[in-house]
């Protein structure tokens, strides 16, 4: 029996190798693979808040209903921070989730139901004022997926001390909405986010 099983296994392996060889040697097959691949990826865009450009050294307050490129401000107000106003985690710009008070930004992007996605983002806080500890949450389709907090103690506008946060979700629909909401009340000095990335993760936990 052991010999028989080994033979079957060997035959299967040989078949896979042959199939792989045949596949790789066929230009048509190779050409179709890149076209199929993007279907597994999200169409998430500009997680770095680089468009539109705000005048360097300034910021722009955006209120509910306004957009930041592919992002929508869906509650309260936020500040889009221009180059040099303070340190960005990636590129030139970042977002303070408190404009005049706590705000929310969200982006809806295509997803493949059943696929696991990893969200990573850079987190810091507005160092210009209290409270020391900024709080907020990341949501998927309106459901809270991750509470976050950042302590600005010892941080400055040029040494923001960005940290990376990450969580995963399994898409249940052809499109998914990712949101970041401040829970820092009554102040214009909120959590700062930048460099948001959404990647299809197959298989986890290797990403």
C-alpha to C-alpha distance for 126 and 134, rounded to whole angstroms: 8
131 counts as binding Ca ion under rule CB under 5 A: no
C-alpha to C-alpha distance for 125 and 197, rounded to whole angstroms: 19
Shortest distance (Å) from residue 63 CB to Ca ion: 21
91 counts as binding Ca ion under rule CB under 5 A: yes
80 counts as binding Ca ion under rule CB under 5 A: no
User: In degrees to the nearest 10, what's the CA dihedral of 190, 108, 137, 121?
Assistant: -70
**Residue among 88, 123, 139, 160 that touches Ca ion (CB under 5 A):** 88
96 counts as binding Ca ion under rule CB under 5 A: no
- CB closest to Ca ion, residue no: 48
Write the DSSP assignment of 67-125 as a string of letters. EETTEEEEESEEEEEPTTTS--SSSS-EEESBSSSB-EEEEEEE--TT-EEEEEEEEEE
**Interhelix angle for 2-24 vs 27-36, to 10°?**
90
Considering the complex, state which of residue 94 and residue 111 has its C-beta at the smaller distance from Ca ion: 94
Number of residues that bind Ca ion (CB under 5 A): 6
Site for Ca ion in 37-56 (CB under 5 A): 48
Q: Which stretch binds Ca ion (CB under 5 A): 84-92, 123-131, 146-154, 173-181?
A: 84-92
**Which residues bind to Ca ion, rule: CB under 5 A?**
48, 88, 90-91, 93, 194
């Amino acid at each position: 029996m052991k010999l028989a099983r080994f033979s079957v296994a060997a035959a299967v392996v040989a078949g896979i190798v042959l199939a792989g060889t045949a596949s790789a040697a066929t230009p048509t097959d190779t050409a179709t693979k890149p076209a199929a691949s993007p279907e597994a990826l999200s169409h998430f865009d500009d997680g770095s808040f680089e468009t539109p450009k705000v005048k360097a050294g300034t910021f722009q307050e955006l209120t509910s209903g306004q957009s930041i490129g592919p992002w929508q401000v869906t509650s309260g107000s936020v500040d889009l921070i221009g180059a040099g106003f303070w340190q960005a985690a990636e590129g030139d710009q970042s977002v303070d989730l408190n404009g005049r008070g706590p705000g929310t930004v969200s982006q809806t992007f295509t997803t493949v139901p059943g696929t696991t996605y990893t969200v990573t983002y850079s987190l810091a806080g507005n160092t210009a004022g209290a409270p020391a500890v900024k709080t907020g949450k990341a949501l998927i389709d309106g459901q809270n997926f991750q509470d976050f907090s950042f302590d600005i103690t010892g941080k400055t506008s040029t040494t923001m001390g960005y940290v990376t946060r990450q969580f995963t979700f399994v898409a249940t629909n052809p499109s998914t909405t990712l949101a970041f909401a401040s829970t820092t009340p009554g102040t214009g000095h909120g959590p700062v986010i930048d460099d948001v990335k959404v990647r299809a993760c197959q298989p986890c936990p290797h990403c």
